[in-house]
Amino acid sequence: MKPRGSKDNRPVNLELSTIKFPITALASISHRVTGVLLFVSSVLLVWALDASLASEESFNELGMLLSSIGATAVLWGFLVIFSYHALAGIRHLIMDMGIGEDFKGGALGARILFVVSALAAVVWGIVLW
């Protein structure tokens, strides 16, 4: 919707699937999404901490639950999300120091971020399985 008096006749495209985002936008959006996922997953972590501290019996039950394949997969997912978010945060800190602020440097930083994050996912998979 155009503001009153606007002479902007460009088409408005609200179909996000047709827009090709630059790699820097994908890195930024992914960083925000992983931040939300970490916040939401913190509920599970607090529950696990509470269960582990409630009694020796609940500690042992939690240990049995966390040794299952499904729990290992959830833990892997959490570690991958955490690793990506931490690496993206480090990338932002580096950019705050003036390194890679231009589009070319930002794109290179985003590519490095995705590659290192993929390697971290593989490493976490090897460690857990």
**DSSP 8-state class, residue 18:** G
User: What's the token pair of residue 63?
Assistant: 């240990």
70-84 in b/e form (b: 16+ CB < 10 A) is: eeeeeebebbbbbbb
Task: Give me the helix-helix angle, 69-96 and 23-54, nearest 10°.
Answer: 130
pLDDT digits (tens, 9 = 90+) for 43-68: 999 999 999 999 999 999 999 999 99
Residue 20, SS3 per DSSP:
coil
How do the domains of the chain map onto residue ranges? 23-128
C-alpha of 125 from chain center? 17
120 close to 80: Cβ distance less than 8 angstroms: yes
Which architecture, in CATH terms, is 23-128? Up-down Bundle (1.20)
pLDDT digits (tens, 9 = 90+) for 89-113: 999 999 999 999 999 999 999 999 9
Exposed/middle/buried for residue 18 (C-beta within 10 Å: 0-12, 13-18, 19+)? exposed
Query: Residue 4: what residue type?
Result: R
Distance CA 112, CA 87 (A): 10
Q: What's the pTM? A: 0.83
Quote the pLDDT of residue 6: 64
Biggest CA-to-CA distance, the chain: 70
Mean pLDDT computed over 20-48: 96
